[in-house]
């Protein structure tokens, strides 16, 4: 299979579905990732232009750890992700047409900040538009409307999974990839006194408790026609 994960900020994919992506890759599937926002506002001291460059590099390093084939960026500034911006939607449409995924993973509608929610809306729209021949982008129309899975919210708040992925064998890979985002992990520990690696491990353990494995990630499928799969697409 070809798998496309589209997160908002450069570290969101590692947080929400990093263990699942690593598992896909270990099973031999082709995995691609993309962040819509460039993360340029994610620090109080590092200035936006410099942070944008840092976080782009961190995302590439994290993707390599997970086994991601290509890491893409739509390069929208933080706090400016807008699902009504057709220029942004078309960039995601073209990405989907290029990757031609069998499944897409993204943010759900109840995530904790607007940029995340808008990213999910963009993916929902773009995954439909990618099949429309007369919406012109660099790559030709993709002949299917791809199933979409929503990854967990931060800390699992207001999110009840319909499916789980056992990531017990890839939890350390997930955390290693997340640790590549030094600008965020270090800042949160120093400024907010949050050990974010422990935070994410705890969330994965909680989801594991729910499905009787050591560590897991939770997902909900986008229940709209014609996206409902008849086979299991998660690993």
Interval 100-147: pLDDT, tens: 999 999 999 999 999 999 999 999 999 999 999 999 999 999 989 999
State in Å, rounded, how far the first CA of the chain is from the last one.
10
What rounded mean pLDDT belongs to the chain?
A: 96
pLDDT at site 171: 98
Element (H, E) at 32: strand 30-37
The radius of gyration computed from the CA coordinates of the chain, to the nearest angstrom, equals 17
Query: Percent of the chain, pLDDT > 90?
Result: 94
CA distance 100 to 210: 33
How far out from the chain centre does Cα 111 lie?
Answer: 12
Domains of the chain as residue ranges with CATH: 2-221 (3.40.50.10320)
How is 99-149 classified by DSSP, letter by letter? H--SEEEEE-TT-SSHHHHHHHHHHHHHHHHTT-TTS--SSPPPSS---EE
Cis peptide before 210 (omega within 30 of 0): no
Strand segments (E) across 148-207: 148-151, 163-166
| Cβ–Cβ under 8 Å, residues 117 and 111 | yes
User: How many H-runs (helices) and E-runs (strands) does the chain carry?
Assistant: 7, 7
Closest by alpha carbon to 75, among 51, 99, 103, 96? Answer: 51
Secondary structure string (H, E, C) spanning 209-230: HHHCCCCEEEEEECCCCCCCCC
The pLDDT of residue 76: 98
Q: What is the pLDDT of residues 151-205, one digit of tens each?
A: 999 999 999 999 999 999 999 999 999 999 999 999 888 888 999 999 999 999 9
Predicted confidence at residue 235, as pLDDT, reads 97
């Amino acid at each position: 299979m070809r798998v496309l994960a589209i997160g908002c900020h450069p570290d969101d994919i590692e947080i929400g579905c990093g263990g699942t992506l690593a598992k896909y890759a270990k099973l031999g599937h082709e995995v691609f990732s993309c962040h819509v926002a460039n993360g340029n506002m994610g620090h109080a001291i590092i200035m936006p232009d410099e942070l944008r460059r840092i976080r782009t590099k961190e995302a590439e390093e994290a993707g390599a750890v997970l086994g991601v084939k290509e890491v893409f960026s739509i390069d929208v500034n933080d706090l400016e992700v807008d699902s009504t911006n057709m220029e942004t939607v078309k960039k995601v449409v073209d990405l989907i047409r290029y990757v031609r995924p069998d499944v897409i993973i993204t943010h759900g509608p109840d995530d904790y900040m607007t940029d995340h929610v808008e990213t999910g809306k963009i993916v929902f729209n773009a995954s439909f538009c990618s099949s429309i021949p007369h919406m012109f982008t660099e790559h030709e129309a993709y002949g299917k409307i791809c199933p979409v899975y929503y990854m967990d919210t931060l800390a699992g708040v207001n999110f009840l999974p319909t499916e789980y992925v056992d990531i017990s064998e890839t939890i350390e890979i997930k955390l290693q990839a997340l640790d590549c985002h030094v600008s965020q992990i270090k800042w949160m520990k120093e400024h907010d006194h949050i050990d974010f690696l422990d935070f994410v491990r705890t969330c994965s353990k909680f989801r594991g408790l729910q499905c009787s494995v050591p560590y897991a990630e939770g997902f909900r499928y986008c229940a709209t026609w014609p996206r409902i799969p008849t086979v299991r697409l998660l690993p």
